[in-house]
Amino acid sequence: MRIAVDAMGGDYAPDEVVKGSARAAQQGIEVILVGDKDQLEPLWAEAGRPHRLTIHHAPEVIMMDDHPVEAVRKKRQSSLVQTIELVKKGEAEGAVSAGNTGAVMAAALLLLGRLPGVLRPAITSPMPTRKGNAIILDAGANVDCRPQHLAQFAIMGSLYASTVLGIASPKVALLSIGEEESKGCELTLAAHALIKEAGAINYIGNIEGRDVSAGRADVIICDGFVGNIVLKFAEGIAEALFAQLKEEMGRNLRGTLGGWLLRPHLRSVLKRLDYTEYGGAPLLGVNGTCIIAHGRSNAKAILNAIRVCAQAVETSLTEKIRVQVQEMDGDTH
């Protein structure tokens, strides 16, 4: 098991990326750090020189504000592109990057390509709910979608939830403005009909926005424009609520004492809402395993992103998506 990690991608790279990768290596995963060796070698030494952690030199860096496609084409020796290149060459089984999301997608499509029959790859991201966790896709890869795209997202998301997350018969739902089949825009109305015909999944129909946090579904389907807004809004609400709670608990002695008593429970809730617990978002539909980590990933988030990548490889997720999409494509012709 060899996982290539973009050591220069993310707000806290390369320090936190190296620390997280070192932890993964100490837990038995072979990790290839991809980046400027002059910067990485001292950090590798600080981490104790784990023997399962090696360095692949890549002198260039794709920045967060670089144009994704242009950067991938012009910076072929960048850490991000070289990370994906290692998967293409078979020198690594999976790739992890907390860098420019658009560039990760562009590199994956250019170097790995789409799986046969897949119309659009999708980013799958965890969504904490009252019942545990759900996943939402697409989380930002495709802002404009056709009904066929959403139908394939449903197939890929269901496979990821059952194969990697271990959810038996995951409940799949389409995000809309009402539960009734007659409600929604042209996209959701047409997508609903297509997903309903996909017999390989446990489709429960439409759900509304309030049902997402309630945990009514394990897999939530929408276009990338809606999905990205839902995720960022939920993240912002969680941060705002906890900031207000902290402020209120510090107003007086009663609040301080109450906060002290509630601290273990608040920590438990915070852990469920903490993106670092979930690592990264798989890019499903490309011909290889690719995990997009949060741009603010710390060492813990990088470690968990590597774990998610390893699980996807171990469970042959990409091959299962290949088979299921081809079967779905055959059923529609």
- At 121-130, the pLDDT tens digits run 999 988 888 8
Q: Are residues 272 and 290 in the same domain?
A: no
- CATH code of the domain in which 173 resides: 3.40.718.10
Give the residue carrying structure tokens 């070289």. 82
Cβ distance 213 to 238 under 8 Å? no
What domain range includes position 218?
Answer: 120-277
Q: Is 241 a member of any domain?
A: yes
Q: Write the burial class of residue 50 (CB in 10 Å: 0-12 exposed, 13-18 middle, 19+ buried).
A: middle
Shared-domain flag, residues 229 and 162:
yes
- Shared-domain flag, residues 138 and 260: yes
Q: pLDDT, tens digit, for every residue of 255-308?
A: 677 666 666 656 666 666 555 566 788 999 999 999 999 888 999 999 999 999
Q: Which phi and psi angles does 216 have, rounded to 5°?
A: -70, -25
Sheet of 171-175: strand order equals 125-129, 132-137, 219-221, 171-175, 202-207
Indicate if 151 and 217 belong to the same structural domain.
yes
Question: Is 135 strand, coil or helix?
Answer: strand
| Percent of the chain clearing pLDDT 90 (strictly above) | 66
pLDDT value of residue 333: 44
Same domain, 242 and 304: no
Q: Measured between alpha carbons, how far is 13 from 103 in angstroms, rounded to an integer?
A: 16
Residue 300 CA to its chain's centroid (Å)? 15
* pLDDT above 70: percentage of residues in the chain: 91
Average pLDDT over residues 140-164: 92
Q: Is residue 153 pLDDT above 80, yes or no?
A: yes
Q: Which of 32-46, 241-255, 308-322 has the lowest mean pLDDT?
A: 241-255
Q: Tell me the per-residue pLDDT of 16-63, one tens digit each, with 9 for 90 and over.
A: 999 999 999 999 999 999 999 999 999 999 999 999 999 999 999 999
289 and 208 share one domain: no
124 and 99 part of one domain: no
d(CA 241, CA 231) in angstroms, rounded, equals: 16
Mean pLDDT along residues 75-92: 97
DSSP label at residue 90: T
> Is the separation of the CB atoms in 205 and 193 below 8 Å?
no
pLDDT for 21: 96
The pLDDT score that the predictor gives to residue 193 is: 93
Residue 244 has pLDDT above 80, yes or no: no
Residue in the structure block whose two tokens are 């273990």: 264
Determine contact, residues 54/63, Cβ cutoff 8 Å.
Answer: no
Shared domain for 297 and 254, answered yes or no, is no
Instruction: Give the SS3 label for residue 14.
Output: coil
DSSP 10: S
Compute the distance between CA of residue 267 and CA of residue 273 in angstroms, rounded to an integer.
10
Residue 52 lies in a domain: yes
Of 250, 277, 304, the last residue of a domain is 277
Answer whether residue 331 is part of any domain. Answer: no
- Coil, helix or strand for 54? strand
| Token pair of 140 as six digits | 């930002």
In a domain, 332, yes or no: no
The whole-number pLDDT of residue 260 equals 65
Tell me: do 157 and 110 sit in the same domain: no
Q: Are residues 309 and 228 in the same domain?
A: no
Q: Residue 280 in 3-state DSSP?
A: strand
Residues 160, 100 share a domain: no
Mean pLDDT, to the nearest integer, of 113-119? Answer: 93
Please provide the average confidence, as pLDDT, over all residues in the chain.
89
The answer to the question of residue 321 being in a domain is: no
Q: How many distinct structural domains can be found in the chain?
A: 2
Tell me if 86 sits within 8 A of 290, measured CB to CB.
no
Nearest to 20 by CA among 310, 283, 279: 279
- Dist CA 54 CA 221 (whole Å): 38
pLDDT in tens, 179-207: 888 888 999 999 999 999 877 899 999 99
Q: What is the mean pLDDT of residues 297-326?
A: 92
* Residue 144 backbone dihedrals phi, psi, to 5 degrees: -120, 120
More confident residue, 89 or 253: 89
